[in-house]
Amino acid sequence: MNAQFIYFQFKKEIWEYKKAIIWAPVFITVIMVLAFCFLSKNYQLSRIVELLTMIQQHVTQSPNVKGSLIGPQLGVFIPFIILAVIIQFHYLTSCLFDERRDLSVHFWRSLPVSDGVSIMVKLLTGALVIPGVFVLLVSAMMVLLLIVAFITCIILSVGFEQHFWDAWLWASSDMLMNFPIIWFNILLYSLWLFPFYAWCMFSSMLAKKSPVLWAVMPITCVVLIELAVSNYFGFNSKFLSDIVLDYLNVNNHLSLASNSTSFILPSIFAVKATLIATAIGCGLLYLTYWIRTNRSE
């Protein structure tokens, strides 16, 4: 098996879903940049000087404190993360179903790439490539922001004799230092949600129609039946509902964000990504592979 075919598989996935994987995050990024430019148009110079002065004072008082900007940086990522989750769900529930619907699965299976590799390529595209595109664009937007701040410091230094180079150097070094943390969190984020990714792909492979409903309805029906039975018999615990909600609940970890924001996802992964969750994800992924191998019509 040639690595070139695997690379071609990734390119094929991105090309087939380029509107969702490429153009949607680009559109959101452009909107945010235009919004920033619009808000900055009438932004008073005194407010900019006030912000730079505040950063300068922070640098003077705590010159060795690093990672202070990780919280605001992650805050910028929130709208991108929300959109990335929606696109991930759309892609993972559609990638295998669309191939069977247009019968292109027979052509792709004729290539010298095994079904297992094809499934792994789709999983990695949904779990890593899609959020990676969003993070890359946000990183580029933040670098652009640093360039604008650099130009502002030049203008203030030359025209107004106000020097904020210490503030800019501290902010830029702190922000750039946080990029590896954010990129590493993508991997932890994907490992944490691996069972749900596997379930979406299993639904995409199993569905005859509407793979989104196949992904949502079984869990919804089981939870509703469990709630009805629990209420009827007066049970206090709801087994499946409690498991799903506990797995997705991150409030206890987010409450520690003020102390160590950069370690939120590592702490979530250490608690949530258990052997059972990983085994469930692997089992669903194997069932997806088995169905694709034995029933791809």
Looking at residue 148, its pLDDT comes to 74
Extract the tokens encoding 283: 């089992």
* Cα–Cα dist 99/297, whole Å: 10
Q: Residue type for 169, please?
A: L
Looking at residue 199, its pLDDT comes to 94
Looking at residue 264, its pLDDT comes to 52
User: Among 29, 26, 130, 119, which Cα is nearest to 88's?
Assistant: 130
Q: Please say if the pLDDT value at position 185 is more than 50.
A: yes
Where are the domains positioned within the chain? 3-294
Length of the chain: 297
Q: Residue type for 35, please?
A: A
pLDDT in tens, 233-267: 777 666 677 777 766 666 555 544 444 444 455 55
pLDDT in tens, 15-33: 888 888 888 888 888 887 7
* Cα–Cα dist 51/274, whole Å: 44
Give Cα separations from 16 to 20, 32, 136 (angstroms).
9, 26, 20
Sign of the Cα pseudo-torsion (117, 120, 126, 127, in order): negative
Q: Please say if the pLDDT value at position 225 is more than 50.
A: yes
Looking at residue 196, its pLDDT comes to 92
Per-residue pLDDT averaged across 159-178, rounded?
A: 64
Backbone phi and psi for residue 44, each to the nearest 5 degrees, phi listed first:
-65, 145
Looking at residue 182, its pLDDT comes to 75
pLDDT in tens, 94-143: 999 988 888 877 777 777 778 888 899 999 999 999 988 988 888 888 88
Extract the tokens encoding 201: 């792909």
Reduced to 3 states (helix: H, G, I; strand: E, B; else coil), residue 51 is: helix
pTM of the model: 0.79
Query: Per-residue confidence at 198, pLDDT binned at 50, 70, 90?
Result: very high
pLDDT in tens, 59-94: 555 555 454 555 566 667 777 888 888 999 999 999
Looking at residue 177, its pLDDT comes to 74
Residue scoring higher pLDDT (160 or 277)? 277
Looking at residue 35, its pLDDT comes to 77
- Check: CB of residue 200 under 8 Å from CB of residue 92: yes
- Check: CB of residue 67 under 8 Å from CB of residue 177: yes
8-state DSSP, 112: S
User: Among 143, 134, 222, which Cα is nearest to 176's?
Assistant: 143
- Check: CB of residue 147 under 8 Å from CB of residue 141: no
Please provide the average confidence, as pLDDT, over all residues in the chain: 76
